């Protein structure tokens, strides 16, 4: 989504008077795209199948209450909606309570069993919402949201979320939302002690490479040789052309090209195959490949 759209979303969220001035275009201002009722029902059925009578489910940014309406009989729903007109519709159609206010600031219940919905597509809102509901979800609780794919393009953001959540990401058809031009996903955030990333590839690896000093990062991105060889070659260069296995370990430990736990084995393998042994446990680059 263009930066201007993100700006409009934040502006509308901070200024509820926009509902009075721009009511005909409020969904566009908030960058909200209502989920068709049939899709909301399938999402609840397939992603929130653990719900049982008496559970309380939060729908933040509920709009006209599509997900509230889709909740199974006996499951209690609570919506949050900034637009009082849409909140009234959601309340009437779904039969559930709806709080009128900004989902980032309204008082939340002390406990919810799940959260689901299609929140405004603004990363600031997602950040704050996840931080807030993490404290009121039980262990094993889930939150599932329709999001634009760009929400997860930054590996640092995803890994920051992953510090507190297991995350599963699935592609959704963008034609589900009329006129939409960017990819859409459904993300499930699970409050588990074991943090998993499902549907994400190379996020942790890129973060590890980006954390390297510039010299090693350049080697990783530009070398045509094995990345492990490039880092070991840089370590030997730093040691003056040769070094012991333990010296190489000490240098490479902070500059590992991948986060494998078997990195020492990988170093020994590369040294045996690509470098020459010049003494007990001491290695140097072979002259013909030293450049």
Please report the DSSP string for 186-221 in residue order. Answer: EEEEE--SS--EES--SHHHHHHHHTS-HHHHHHHH
pLDDT of residue 9: 38
pTM: 0.73
The DSSP call for residue 167 is: E
Domains and CATH numbers, the chain: 3-201 (3.40.50.150), 205-289 (1.10.10)
Dihedral sign, Cα of residue 121, residue 126, residue 132, residue 133:
positive
pLDDT score of 216: 67
Is the Cβ–Cβ distance between 112 and 136 less than 8 Å? yes
Contact 50, 71 (CB under 8 A): no
Token reading at 6: 């993100």
First to last CA, the chain: 45
Q: Could you report the average pLDDT of every consecutive run of 10 residues in the chain (291 residues)? A: 37 41 46 87 96 97 97 98 96 97 96 97 95 96 96 94 96 91 94 93 79 69 69 84 88 67 78 87 69 37
DSSP at 277: E
How far is residue 237's CA from residue 231's CA, in Å, rounded to a whole number? Answer: 10
Distance of CA 263 to the CA centre of its chain: 27
Query: What does the alpha-carbon distance between residue 86 and residue 132 come to, in Å, rounded to a whole number?
Result: 23
Q: How many Å apart are CA 122 and CA 134, to the nearest integer?
A: 18
Identify the pLDDT of residue 23: 46
- For 247-263, the three-class secondary structure string (H helix, E strand, C coil) is HHHHHHHCCCCCCCCCH
Place of tokens 């045509």: 224
pLDDT of residue 262: 65
How confident is the model at residue 15, as a pLDDT?
43
Please report the pLDDT score of residue 7 as a whole number: 35
pLDDT value, residue 32: 66
> For 157-187, b where at least 16 C-beta lie within 10 A, e where not — what string?
ebbebbeebbbbbeebebeebeeeeeebbbb
**3-state SS string over 125-160?**
HHHHHHHHHCCCCCCCCEEEEEEEHHHHCCHHHHHH
Q: Is residue 156 within 8 Å of 206, Cβ to Cβ?
A: no
Predicted local distance difference test score (pLDDT) of residue 17:
44
pLDDT of 182 reads 86
């Amino acid at each position: 989504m263009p930066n201007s759209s993100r700006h409009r979303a934040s502006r509308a969220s901070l200024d509820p008077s926009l509902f009075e001035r721009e009511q005909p275009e409020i969904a566009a201002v908030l960058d909200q795209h209502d989920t068709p009722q049939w899709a909301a029902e399938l999402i609840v059925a397939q992603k929130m199948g653990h719900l049982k009578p008496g559970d309380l489910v939060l729908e933040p940014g509920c709009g006209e209450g599509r997900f509230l309406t889709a909740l199974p009989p006996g499951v209690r729903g609570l919506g949050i909606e900034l637009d009082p007109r849409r909140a009234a519709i959601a309340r009437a159609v779904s039969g559930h309570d709806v709080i009128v206010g900004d989902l980032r600031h309204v008082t939340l219940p002390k406990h919810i069993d799940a959260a689901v919905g299609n929140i405004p597509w603004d990363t600031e809102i997602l950040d704050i919402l996840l931080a807030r509901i993490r404290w009121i979800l039980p262990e094993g609780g889930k939150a599932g949201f329709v999001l634009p794919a760009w929400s997860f393009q930054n590996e640092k953001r995803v890994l920051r979320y992953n510090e507190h959540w297991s995350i599963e990401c699935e592609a959704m058809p963008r034609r589900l939302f009329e006129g939409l031009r960017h990819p859409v996903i459904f993300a499930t955030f699970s409050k588990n002690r074991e943090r998993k990333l499902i549907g994400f590839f190379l996020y942790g690896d890129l973060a590890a490479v980006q954390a390297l000093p510039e010299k090693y990062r350049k080697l990783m991105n530009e070398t045509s040789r094995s990345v492990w060889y490039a880092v070991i070659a840089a370590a030997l260069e730093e040691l003056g052309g040769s070094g012991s296995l333990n010296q190489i370990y000490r240098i490479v430990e902070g500059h590992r090209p991948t986060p494998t736990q078997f990195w020492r084995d990988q170093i020994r393998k590369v040294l045996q195959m690509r470098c020459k042994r010049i003494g007990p446990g001491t290695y140097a680059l072979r002259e013909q490949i030293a450049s």
